[in-house]
Amino acid sequence: MRRRVRQFLAATAAVFAGIIAILWLAIAILKPGPEGRIVLATGGAGGAYHEFAETLVADLARSGVTLELKQKVEGAGTLKALLAATDSEAQGGIIKGGMLSSLQGRYASLEDRKEHEREANGLRSVGRLFIEPIWVFYRGARQVRSLSEFKGKRIMVGSAQSGTRLVAVQLLKANGIDASNSTLVYEELTEDAAALMSDKVDVAITIAVAESPKVQKLLRVPNILLMSFAADAEAYANRFPSLSKVVLHQGVVEFAPDLPSADITLLATSTALVVRADLHPALALLLARAIQRNPKRSFDREGDPVLFYEPGKYPSIQDPEYEISPDIKALYQSGEMPFLLRTFAPMAKSMGMKFWVPAFVHVNGSRTILLLIPLLSILLPLTRILPMAYNWSIRRRLLHWYRQLKAMEATIHPGGGDAHVAEKLHDLERIDTAIRRIRVPLAYSDQLYDLRGHVNLVRQRLIQSTTPLGRAAE
């Protein structure tokens, strides 16, 4: 019996191991998951986007994901790269807020609106990262209170491929300014702000973080003024949901003398990190967690507090332009990664496994567990039947010989003579020999000995029932 049990268990284990090996081989060949690699478009080194992305590299590496930063892709080029036919260009990128919104509405062309639909369907947000004000610097001594006052001027709106251009042109169009009545200069404001300083342009619009060197420099130039949107900032925020209002308070740049000399209301966007809609959910989740754990620093390179920094506000899932997946929303709200991905990704990296293994476990392991829950509710009651079935399987073997014994006992005739006794004793020995060969677990030994005791009982009855044979023996 024990040998048969061992053989059965060994065969079951071999079959199970074979199934696991076949499944593992199939998965290893098919590789049903992503490489542990994300290509992120960040713009040039030294920029705020690239600097922020560098803080994510080490965090992702702990989970076996390599973050490659693509410096030559930025602005509108980022969106084109993300929506390319292949993922060779980029799988994600950091872009200015308002770029997508600028492609819709009354000021967008039909081609822009088609592009908006394509981008809205093909991209997803991983979160908003930090504030970027819209700075409108201009030369002169008179305070300007509306963009419409710049009609007929030379206005620098950013390079043709920049995100600044898309937002700036939309705002200018809303104020009746376009290439037909003003000179739009499609160049980027350089770090030294030479174009504005040398009278090459009258106005320069740039979207940049407050600690940007060119912004800090222009804030200190006496004959360069910064436009305040105080008159209609609320209207802009209502009209363009991707914009918000921030205030550059008096003296916040310098106290002696006060810079600025009065409060200046600015419009601002929030920088977004977007990814392709088909980016594997495990990669998107790890990227979102890296953003959460590495928010933009509250101090600049010199150690001064960053203007407009609000602790705990960013990163944020409040995205007015791009859809955010439910998994990433849950991550931001709970602060917890899914258990399988959180534990298995670092473990797989330490064991030298490819990233597609934990990614596959994350996607399919959770589903498997969800499927097992109703299955277990059915299987658990069945486990109570197994001991009963096992007990019956052993008892059935004993009952077989009980039937044989009972049938043989029914054929015993008192005074049947020597031949009759010899025949029945032979049958009884056959039954006893077969019973002695039965192997049962120790817990069932009492039933086996009961059966052997009944054999002896029948043997005694057989001898006692043959009186003539008994007298002859005497």
Residues 114, 117: Cα–Cα separation, whole Å: 5
- Ordered alpha helix ranges (H), 314-365: 326-334, 339-350, 356-360
Residue 152 pLDDT more than 90?
yes
Report domain extents, the chain.
1-29, 31-337, 385-473
Average pLDDT over residues 12-26: 62
The answer to whether residue 472 scores a pLDDT higher than 50 is no
> Who wins on pLDDT, 412 or 8?
412
pLDDT (0 to 100) of residue 470: 43
Q: How far apart are CA 130 and CA 288, in angstroms?
A: 14
158 vs 358 pLDDT, higher one? 158
The one-character DSSP state at 143 is P
The pLDDT score that the predictor gives to residue 33 is 66
Report whether pLDDT(226) > 80: yes
What is the pLDDT averaged over residues 305-322?
Answer: 91
Task: Quick: pLDDT tens for 188-209.
Answer: 888 888 888 888 999 999 999 9
pTM: 0.72
Kindly state the average pLDDT of the residues 327-350: 90
- The string of pLDDT tens digits covering residues 442-468 is 777 888 888 888 888 888 877 776 654
pLDDT value at 473 more than 50 = no
The pLDDT assigned to 333 comes to: 92
In degrees, rounded to 5, the angle at the alpha carbon of residue 210 between the alpha carbons of residues 186 and 145 is 65
The mean pLDDT of 28-32, rounded to a whole number, is 58
Q: How confident is the model at residue 86, as a pLDDT?
A: 60
Contact 278, 85 (CB under 8 A): no
Segment of 84-93, 140-149, 191-200, 287-296 carrying the highest mean pLDDT: 287-296
Task: Answer for the pair 332, 292: CB distance below 8 angstroms, yes or no.
Answer: yes
| pLDDT tens-digit series, residues 355-365 | 888 888 888 77
The pLDDT value given to residue 1: 45
Give me the pLDDT at residue 271, please. Answer: 95
Q: How high is the pLDDT of residue 420? A: 77
The pLDDT value given to residue 237: 92
Mean pLDDT score of the chain, rounded to an integer?
A: 84
- pLDDT tier for residue 25 given thresholds of 50, 70 and 90: low
Of 111-125, 283-297, 459-473, which one has max mean pLDDT?
283-297
**What does the pLDDT read at residue 375?**
60
Question: How is 223-287 classified by DSSP, letter by letter?
Answer: TEEE---TTTHHHHHHH-TT-EEEEE-TTSSEETTEESSS-EEEEEEEEEEEEETTS-HHHHHHH
Q: pLDDT digit string (tens) for 48-62?
A: 999 999 999 999 999
**What three-state secondary structure class fits 83?**
coil
Rounded mean pLDDT of 62-88? 80
pLDDT-wise least confident of 11-20, 173-182, 210-219: 11-20
Read off the pLDDT of residues 357-409 as tens digits, 9 standing for 90 and up: 888 888 877 666 665 566 666 666 666 666 777 777 777 878 888 888 888 88
Return the percentage of the chain with pLDDT > 70, whole number.
85
Q: Which pLDDT does position 469 carry in this prediction?
A: 42
The residue that leads in pLDDT, 5 or 37, is 37
DSSP run (H or E) holding 183: strand 183-185
Strands 123-139 and 264-276 come out as antiparallel
Assign domain 31-337 to its CATH architecture: 3-Layer(aba) Sandwich (3.40)
Give the least confident one: 143-157, 268-282, 396-410, 453-467: 453-467
pLDDT > 90? residue 228: yes
Give the angle 302-305-309 at the CA atoms, nearest 5°. Answer: 135
